[in-house]
Amino acid sequence: MWLTRPLRERSTQIFLGVLFAALAIVTFLHVAMPEDSALYVSAYTVTLLGKYLCYALLAVAVDLVWGYLGILSLGHGAFFAIGGYAMGMYLMRQIGDRGTYGDPILPDFMVFLNWQELPWYWLGFDMAWFAFIMVLLAPGLLALVFGFLAFRSRVTGVYLSIITQALTFALMLAFFRNEMGFGGNNGLTDFRDILGFNLRTDATRLGLFIATGIALAIGYVICRGIVTSKLGRVSIACRDAEARARFLGYRVDRVQLFVFVVSAMLAGVAGALYVPQVGIINPSEFSPLFSIEVVVWVALGGRATLYGAVIGAVLVNYAKTVFTGVMPDAWLFALGGLFVLVTVFLPKGIAGLLASRRKGKQDEQDTPTAPSTTEATA
Amino acid sequence: MLPRLSPPQLAFNRQDIIMSILRSLTLLLIALVSVLSLPASAQEDDPGKALLNNLAEVPASRVEEAINAIVSSGDERARGWLEAYGNNRLSRIDDTGQVVIVLNNRGRDWEIANPLTGENMGEMSRRELDRIAINNRIRGQLEGILAMLDLNATDPDVREASAQDMMGKVDASLVEPLEAQLEREENASVRNRIEEALAIYRVGEGNLEAVDVLAGSLHPRARAALNEAVRSDNPALADKAEQALASIEQKLKLNRAAETLYFGLSLGSVLVLAAIGLAITFGVMGVINMAHGELIMLGAYTTWGMQQLLPGQPGLALIFSIPAGFLVAATAGIIIERSVIQFLKGRPLETLLATFGISLILQQLVRTVISPQNRTVVTPEWMSGSLVINDALSLTLNRLYVLAFALIVFAALMMIMRKTRLGLEVRAVTQNRAMARSMGIRATRVDIMTFALGSGVAGLAGVALSQLTNVGPNLGQNYIIDSFMVVVFGGVGNLWGTLIAGLSLGTINQLLEPWAGAVLAKIIVLVFIILFIQKRPKGLFPQKGRAAEG
Amino acid sequence: MTIRKHVKLGLSALALSMSLNAAAAEDPIKVGILHSLSGTMAISETVLKDTVEMLIAKQNAEGGVLGRELEAVVVDPASNWPLFAEKARELLAQEKVDVIFGNWTSVSRKSVLPVVEELNGLLFYPVQYEGEESSENVFYTGAAPNQQAIPAVDYLMNNIGVERWVLAGTDYVYPRTTNKILETYLMDQGVAKEDIMINYTPFGHSDWQNIVSDIKRFGSAGKKTAVVSTINGDANVPFYRELGNQGISASDIPVVAFSVGEQELSGIDTGPLVGHLAAWNYFMSVDSDANYDFIDQWIEHTGNEEAVTNDPMEAHYIGFNMYIEAVKKAGTTDVDAVKDAIIGVSVPNLTGGYATMMPNHHITKPVLIGEIQDNGQFSVVWETPSTVAGDAWSDFLPGSRDLIADWRKPMFCGSFNTATGKCGASAGEMAAEEAE
């Protein structure tokens, strides 16, 4: 089975081992340590780590299409945000009549703007199962339609990157409009419960953190399963020489479409887990800047390695937390410098550094090689 | 009861004012001599002092009377006082109660002058000064008074402008002097204006013939008057006004279409300017320069810097900024090319990431070095206002200049690419780098020159944009996505494509806007481009031949 | 080896002496500052951070409060709304600050609100906002709609004789709500629906040609027309420029703005804007000694002779002094005690009067209408005869007409419904939780 194959892989075992160990340690330190202990991990930190893990899952999704399919998506933030909105809508409906205006059905911002009834696309979001399906389905569907049109007409390379950017930009403008019924610039906030658990308790926060860790593990295994399967090899062929793969008889557009949709769904899940932890979803998640930033996490960590994406996401975001606290002015310099240095001097990222060190000791057998630095754009 | 433009209780006796002004003008020469010889000691019993003190002291409800008194005094300094008053420059010193004119009111210490003698009194702390309050209503009346004064000017243009100012401001007291003015007036267009101004008043009074005068007028005030007449209880008048309005509407429709087209071309020219530099670096060199927006920003900041260097000469500074903006941005471009892009040859997606990093650094650099605040860029006199085609259609001058500038830049670029050695070499390197090199072209040098050219043009765009929008650290970000859309839509590597794409996207946007609103129009345009690229992945004008495969 | 030992010894001695020092003096009062220092909002928010720092320095120079020093804890939420919630949590849970001064945009406040309520913090919010909120833990020192929008419209209607209205705003919650309130208010005053034009544009909108041309056309219908602008920040410069260039002067169609202050004008060539209006509760040009002193201090603090002050800075000035007074009154920085003590506290504002904290956590403010001058300042042309108390719940919105807020016991409720006699669900639940 393609899903179990990765579990026998050394690299996946190490990754899962490290991930679960980290989850266990954080949980232990949070629950068992007294609050004044130096080793105590506060709820604040747990949530922060949960956020990093969401970003890591998003980065894995981006790496799947960029590293193994050669599609530089500058619009994955859109799928992330749509997943987040699906979750946000569920959480909004869970508020029920505890909102400021006490309306049992309409969220506060709708009462506020004199909406008379719930728009049709909000229906069903009071049920968890429906919302959770939409978390997968909504981004997946968007990716399906967009990808179908794009891959069928062989839009590739730079053009594809730019229209993914246009996609997320257009969605951002659309979601900013209050007429859309998603709360406009204020977005969705003031969440209370998820599946009956109070979101404002530390126990729920820990639960969400662990759930995110598990989602990341599953997402990682799925991606790993795809890239080591036959489909994965074909997609790598598409990445390195699209025309040749096509001439050999592979339906390149179908492969691209499948992987693109899976990646969008993973991004959606990441968004859905992100929203209850940070407590707000607003259209700025659609901003093109955020999507490009995600690409840099992947580039820093190392493209086409998956675990590199995780390392990159966690490192950059940790640096961001530290920098914006200590010297806010320097953060953009650091981030900008990172973009330049990584692309010029570290084309294979941190994972590339690790791999080159390891290479002397043992040969990698099952790992597909990282993409060649010169890629065909036509 | 018909609403009136100026509430009746506020109107003061204008006939008196006019008469006094006329009187004062005849005395001008004598007065001028006397003011020059006025000894400082005579200030105490200067009647102007009492007039100004009166203006400063009366409650708001009686300010009109105070102004009235100043005007009817026939004092030749009245105009200066009233202008200062209208500009919020009349203040009172707290301790002595003396009324002064503030010459410079920036900062904490203000430069003041004596309104009676014109003598400069040096600087005084703002704490010691008490401004004599004025509001829009009184300012409007002051404008009317000053316009009446100007009706006697020798320059017919000034007379026409002041007659135009009178439109909609005529009331019963002004009719007689205006009619007298009409008798004397010889210039046809000034006569026209005065007639229209009078007709607007008369339509309001229910005069049927006056409707005919207004029937051909496109002036908004004339339309306003007719609109009111339509609502009047007099059926004959309402009928006639409605017919007149219908014929005006017909004319307006044409004007409106022309206006929308102009809006579209103007927005399009902005897009072309912003994108054309990108068309060179992206289209010709294959470099995706995400820092392009920040190069535009550098051009805009250069304009600001120039204006700081040449205070009081905004126009001259703007003209100097054109070469300066080009050089600054081109230099920045060369630095970017040498330090980063040359290492990323043939990896377009990596150049995207690296240049994005550069854009973040440049933005933050401007924030840290200059300021996170927007900077003030002054629009020179000759670029403000609009070119009046007729009363309903006027083209804003700053956008007209930008439109012309965009076309000139485009033409110049075409010349460079087509007619110069550099252009030839650029095209050669683009089409087949190896072949070009073996023919003795120094490809590296061509790369640098091309990138510098594209960046320099971005700088020029910045100079132009500084006249339209904010000059701040976020300037570039607002244009980068639009620029890419224009280039991709037009077809990469094709300057004509960029021009057509920019102008047509601008026009589509402006056509949609009244119907869909600003946001939706933009979304529709974006979705349109996305779908268009699916249909024609290489844009409107795809590059043909070998270069297309590169 | 010996050297290292010495260093170690020295270090531990240093640490010991430091801990002794700390024990000798009481812990400082920690003041959290939650304003964006980077990103798009940095333009507006950086000066507020500086303002609070200046106020803290001044208070410390006067000996602090309750014999304790004040200490600023500055974080940067980077104009990123989720980050606002995260940083608020960091301030309250990690840094254990006693009070937070922060936020500018509505969305950032909404993001922070659940955190401040959960961790029982104190937040002073200094910007004019859309109302429709009253939290136990938040003090709103900016204007509510009835302290800015409605008096401004009254002024235009009664003093200028405006009969036709353009409500133009950026598409987000503050303009949406303000325009909803104004629309209802105007219609109550007998303005016909076709005499009101409402228009929304996105953030940073720069191409105003069509809209200004529409406004011009709308204004030529024979009635005095005015524009009520809730256009935000950056979009204003191109808007006013287009107005000027299309020949619309303040005497034809005046624009009264609720979001354009001295800070925004400092980035504009104000020549063509002279005579357009703004409604605020404070202008830098206000003629009062308190204001002149504040400006002198500010110029000294920033070291910039050209530095301007604006309305939200005054709001922080008032909020900060209110907090100090409340701490003195309560004799402690304990959040619940301060919350009780601060209601009814009066401190001088910068316009020569007093501001009082009302039971609904809003304050009393005078409303000033100013005209833009050519030096980038406003000249006050009108002001309300007395101060106006902020209204948390608008009387002109159907959903909130019956709601009031009163954070004194026994009512202790942010949204009490006078029609049903019940406290709104959210606050009721909170009160119930507390009772447990």
CATH number, residue C154: 3.40.50.2300
d(CA B387, CA C246): 9
Q: Is residue A92 a contact partner of residue A188, using CB atoms and an 8 Å limit?
A: yes
A254: domain range?
A: 5-359
d(CA A98, CA A106): 11
d(CA A54, CA A60): 10
Q: Residues of A numbered 325-354 whose beta carbons fall under 8 angstroms of chain B's beta carbons: which are they?
A: 329, 332-333, 335-340, 342-344, 347
Task: Give the pLDDT confidence score for residue B267 in this predicted structure.
Answer: 93
B200's tokens: 């607007």
Task: Give the pLDDT confidence score for residue B458 in this predicted structure.
Answer: 95
Closest CA to B531 of A148, A6, C225: A148
Task: Please indicate, yes or no, if residue B150 is contained in any of the structural domains.
Answer: no
Cβ contact, residue pair B136, C224, below 8 Å? no
Question: Is the domain of C188 the same as that of C239?
Answer: yes
Question: Is the domain of C381 the same as that of C243?
Answer: yes
pLDDT beyond 50 at B402: yes
Task: Give the pLDDT confidence score for residue A1 in this predicted structure.
Answer: 67
d(CA B133, CA B130): 9
Closest CA to C85 of B5, A277, B335: A277
Task: Please indicate, yes or no, if residue C396 is contained in any of the structural domains.
Answer: no
Question: Is the domain of C280 the same as that of C385?
Answer: yes
For B94-124, b/e burial (b = at least 16 CB within 10 A) is: eeeebbbbbeebeeebbbbbebbbeeeeeeb
Task: Please indicate, yes or no, if residue B131 is contained in any of the structural domains.
Answer: yes
d(CA A338, CA A319): 11
Question: Would you tell me the crossing angle of helices A157-176 and B518-535 to the nearest 10 degrees?
Answer: 160
For C226-264, what is each residue's pLDDT tens digit?
A: 999 999 877 888 898 888 888 888 888 999 999 888 888
At residue C47, what is the residue type? V
Task: Give the pLDDT confidence score for residue B35 in this predicted structure.
Answer: 46
Give the mean model confidence (pLDDT) for residues B532-544.
81
Task: Please indicate, yes or no, if residue C9 is contained in any of the structural domains.
Answer: no
Task: Please indicate, yes or no, if residue A353 is contained in any of the structural domains.
Answer: yes
Q: How far is C285 from chain B (nearest CA, A)?
A: 9
Task: Give the pLDDT confidence score for residue C92 in this predicted structure.
Answer: 94
Of A304-313, A325-334, C346-355, C404-413, the range with the lowest mean pLDDT is: A325-334
Task: Give the pLDDT confidence score for residue C25 in this predicted structure.
Answer: 54
Task: Please indicate, yes or no, if residue A96 is contained in any of the structural domains.
Answer: yes
Question: Is the domain of C209 the same as that of C358?
Answer: no
For A230-247, what is each residue's pLDDT tens digit?
A: 999 999 998 888 888 889
Cβ contact, residue pair C163, B3, below 8 Å? yes
Task: Please indicate, yes or no, if residue C382 is contained in any of the structural domains.
Answer: yes
Question: Is the domain of C251 the same as that of C230?
Answer: yes
Task: Please indicate, yes or no, if residue C18 is contained in any of the structural domains.
Answer: no
Task: Give the pLDDT confidence score for residue B44 in this predicted structure.
Answer: 59
Question: Is the domain of C228 the same as that of C377?
Answer: yes
Task: Please indicate, yes or no, if residue A378 is contained in any of the structural domains.
Answer: no
Q: What is the CATH number of the domain that holds A126?
A: 1.10.3470
Last residue of a domain, one of B453, B476, B499: B476
B424: domain range?
A: 256-476
Question: Is the domain of C222 the same as that of C353?
Answer: no
For chain B, what is the mean pLDDT? 82
Cβ contact, residue pair A166, B537, below 8 Å? no
For B264-304, what is each residue's pLDDT tens digit?
A: 999 999 999 999 999 888 877 778 899 999 999 999 999 99
d(CA C405, CA C416): 6
At residue A297, what is the residue type? W
Q: How many Cα neighbours within 13 Å face the side chain of A95?
A: 24
For B293-352, what is each residue's pLDDT tens digit?
A: 999 999 999 999 999 999 888 899 999 999 999 999 999 999 999 999 988 887 888 888
B165's tokens: 């100012």
pLDDT beyond 70 at C15: no
Task: Please indicate, yes or no, if residue B306 is contained in any of the structural domains.
Answer: yes
Task: Please indicate, yes or no, if residue A377 is contained in any of the structural domains.
Answer: no
Task: Give the pLDDT confidence score for residue A322 in this predicted structure.
Answer: 85
C261: domain range?
A: 146-286+368-389
pLDDT beyond 50 at A365: no
Give the mean model confidence (pLDDT) for residues C305-330.
94
Q: Residues of C numbered 354-413 whose beta carbons fall under 8 angstroms of chain B's beta carbons: which are they?
A: 371, 373-377, 379-382
CB within 8 Å of C6: residues ≥ 6 apart: none
Q: Is residue C62 a contact partner of residue C297, using CB atoms and an 8 Å limit?
A: no
Last residue of a domain, one of B87, B112, B138: B138
Q: How far is C107 from chain A (nearest CA, A)?
A: 5
Task: Give the pLDDT confidence score for residue A349 in this predicted structure.
Answer: 86
Q: Is C200 left (phi over 0), alpha (psi -120 to 50) or beta?
A: beta
Pairwise pLDDT comparison (B175 vs A167), residue with the higher score: A167
Question: Is the domain of B127 the same as that of B276?
Answer: no
pLDDT beyond 90 at B459: yes
Task: Please indicate, yes or no, if residue A203 is contained in any of the structural domains.
Answer: yes
Q: Is residue B285 a contact partner of residue B429, using CB atoms and an 8 Å limit?
A: no
Question: Is the domain of C40 the same as that of C150?
Answer: no
Residue A247 phi, psi dihedral angles, 5° rounding: -65, -25
Number of Cβ atoms within 10 Å of the Cβ of C155: 22
Task: Please indicate, yes or no, if residue B373 is contained in any of the structural domains.
Answer: yes
Number of Cβ atoms within 10 Å of the Cβ of A377: 17
Does A294 contact chain B (CB < 8 Å)? no
Task: Give the pLDDT confidence score for residue B542 in this predicted structure.
Answer: 80
Closest CA to A238 of A255, A225, A223: A255
> What total number of domains does chain B contain?
2
pLDDT beyond 60 at C123: yes
pLDDT beyond 70 at B29: no
Task: Please indicate, yes or no, if residue A369 is contained in any of the structural domains.
Answer: no
Give the mean model confidence (pLDDT) for residues C90-98.
92
Give the nearest partner residue to B488 out of A162, A167, A176, using CB atoms. A162
Task: Give the pLDDT confidence score for residue A360 in this predicted structure.
Answer: 55
d(CA A376, CA A238): 10
Q: Is residue B162 a contact partner of residue B178, using CB atoms and an 8 Å limit?
A: no
Task: Please indicate, yes or no, if residue C357 is contained in any of the structural domains.
Answer: yes
d(CA B35, CA B25): 14
> What total number of domains does chain C contain?
3
> What total number of domains does chain A contain?
1
d(CA C280, CA C263): 13
For chain C, what is the mean pLDDT? 86
> Which ipTM score applies to this complex?
0.87
Cα distances (Å, whole numbers) of residue C14 to C19, C21, C26: 9, 11, 19
Cβ contact, residue pair C76, A328, below 8 Å? yes
Question: Is the domain of C92 the same as that of C41?
Answer: yes
d(CA C380, CA C369): 6
Q: Is residue B465 very low, low, confident or very high in pLDDT (cuts 50, 70, 90)? A: very high
At residue B240, what is the residue type? K
Q: How far is CA B137 from the centre of its chain?
A: 25
d(CA B198, CA B187): 17
Task: Give the pLDDT confidence score for residue B19 in this predicted structure.
Answer: 53
Number of Cβ atoms within 10 Å of the Cβ of C340: 16
- Chain A contact partners (≥3 CB pairs within 8 A): B, C
Last residue of a domain, one of B458, B476, B494: B476
d(CA C37, CA C45): 7
Task: Please indicate, yes or no, if residue A202 is contained in any of the structural domains.
Answer: yes
Q: How far is C150 from chain B (nearest CA, A)?
A: 19
Question: Is the domain of C340 the same as that of C300?
Answer: yes
d(CA C332, CA C323): 11
For chain C, what percent of residues have pLDDT higher than 90? 55
